[in-house]
Amino acid sequence: MSRYRIDWLDAYREVAEHRKQVPEHRLLDYLADIPPGPVLDLGMGRGRHALFFAKMGRQVEGVDISKPPESIRKLIREDDLDLTWHESDLREFEIPKRKYALIIAARILQLFRKSEMAAIAPRIEEGLKPKGLLYIYTFSVEDIEHIQKRDAIEEVEENTFYHAEWDLHFRFFTREDILGLFPGLRLLTYSEGLTMARTGTNRRLNGVIEYVGQRI
φ/ψ of 164, rounded to 5, equals -65, -40
Please calculate the CA angle 85-93-177 and round it to the nearest 5 degrees: 110
User: What DSSP character marks residue 142?
Assistant: G
Q: How many helices (H) and strands (E) does the chain have?
A: 7, 10
Rounded CA separation 21/174 (Å): 27
pLDDT in tens, 42-63: 999 889 999 999 999 999 999 9
pLDDT in tens, 119-133: 999 999 999 999 999
pLDDT in tens, 7-56: 444 444 444 444 456 788 899 999 999 999 999 999 998 899 999 999 99
Rounded CA separation 191/178 (Å): 11
Residues 6+ apart with CB under 8 A from 170: 110, 111, 139, 147, 153, 160, 161, 162, 163
The sign of the dihedral angle between the CA atoms of 40, 44, 49, 54 is: positive
Mean pLDDT of 196-207: 71
CA dihedral 54→58→63→66, nearest 10 degrees, is: 20
